[in-house]
Amino acid sequence: MRVSFTVNGRRLEADDVWEGESLLYVLRERLGLPGAKNACEQGECGSCTVRLDGVPVCACLVAAGQAQDRAVETVEGLGTASGLSPVQRAFVDAGAVQCGFCTPGLLVAVDELLERVPRPSDADVREALSGNLCRCTGYEKILEAVRLAAGGPDAPGAAAGPAAGEAGGAPAGEAG
């Protein structure tokens, strides 16, 4: 079948889609958008979080056909390496990225959270991101990144974690 939908503001079509394919498979393997990750493929880890008509979903649990005529936003729509969004910048600056496999899903979830709750409490952040597993960071630096993105570097609590290092620092590198 053919699936037509909007991805990061662009109208796209995928042809020869088998009915059993997930939105995740179509994004990654047919449209060349591998930002949403494949880690559990049963909606448990959040690595494939994308927004479907604005609502965060696990793309692995959405049948490709369900995306017909709908709007999908992936991490690729947030910003580019030369123009990071504030949330992306905060993740790099806070040291919230280690292996980075969970990062794209977390970024989409955080982006949606901050749109809904611009100044979330720590408990709000933990609750909102409890569907996104991270195996590397212990979540502490992710929390720091969200505080940073929510309030900027001068926000109270932005670097108030007991283990907070200096926030910010030098700019990140670029792809060459």
Partner 1 sequence: MAVTRTPSRITTGVAGGIGTSAPRPDGALKVTGEFAYSSDLWAEDMLWGFTLRSPHAHAEIRSIDTTGALRVPGVHAVLTHEDLPAKTHYGLEIADQPVLAIGRVRFHGEPVALVAADHPETARRAAERIRVEYVELEPIVDEATATAPDAAVLHPGRTDRHSRHVPHPNIVHRQPIRRGDVAAARAAADVVVRGDYEVGMQDQAFLGPESGLAVPAEDGGVDLYIATQWLHVDRDQLAPVLGLPPEKVRLTLSGVGGAFGAREDLSMQAHACLLALRTGRPVKIVYSREESFFGHVHRHPAKLSYEHGATRDGRLLYVAARIVLDGGAYASSTPAVVGNAASLGVGPYEVDNVEVEAVGLYTNNPPCGAMRGFGAVQACFAYESQMDRLAAELGMDPVELRRRNAVSQGSVMPTGQVIDAPAPVAELLRRVKEMPLPPERPWLPGAVVGDGGPDGGAGAVDVRALPGGLSNTTHGEGVVRGVGYAVGIKNVGFSEGFDDYSTARVRLEMIGGEPVAMVHTAMAEVGQGGVTVHGQIVRTELGVERVTIHPADTRVGSAGSTSASRQTYMTGGAVKLACEAVRAEVLRLGRERLGGTSPLWGTDDTGLFLEGGKVVTAEGRPLASLAEVLGSDAIDLTREHHHRRTEPFDLRTGQGFGHVQYSFCAHRAVVEVDTELGLVKVVEMAAAQDVGRALNPKSVEGQIHGGTAQGLGLAVMEEILVSDEGRVRNPSFTDYLIPTFLDMPPMRVEILELADPHAPYGLRGVGEAPTLSSTPAVVAAIRAATGRALTRVPVRPEHILGL
Residue 80 as a binder of partner 1 (CB under 8 A): the answer is: yes
Whole-Å CA distances, 70 to 27, 65, 108, 153, 175? 14, 10, 17, 36, 32
103 binds partner 1 (CB under 8 A): yes
SS3 5: strand
Binding-site string for partner 1 from residue 18 to residue 47, where x marks contact by CB under 8 A and - marks none: x-x-------xx--xxxxxxxxxxx-xx-x
- Site membership for partner 1, residue 163 (CB under 8 A): yes
Residue 151 touching partner 1 (CB under 8 A): no
Site size with partner 1, rule: CB under 8 A: 75
Which lies closer to partner 1 via its Cβ, residue 69 or residue 176?
Answer: 176
Q: Using DSSP, state whether 109 is helix, strand or coil.
A: helix
The secondary structure of 19-83 as a DSSP string is TT-BHHHIIIIISS-TTS--S-SSSSS-TTEEEETTEEEEGGGSBGGGGTT-EEE-GGGT-BTTB
- Whose Cβ is closer to partner 1: residue 52's or residue 109's? 109
Build a one-symbol-per-residue string for 107-146: x at contacts with partner 1 by CB under 8 A, - elsewhere.
x-------------xxxxxxx-xxxxxxxxxxxxxxx---
Residue whose entry in the numeric block shows the structure tokens 């060459």? 176
Question: Which CB sits closer to partner 1, 31 or 67?
Answer: 31
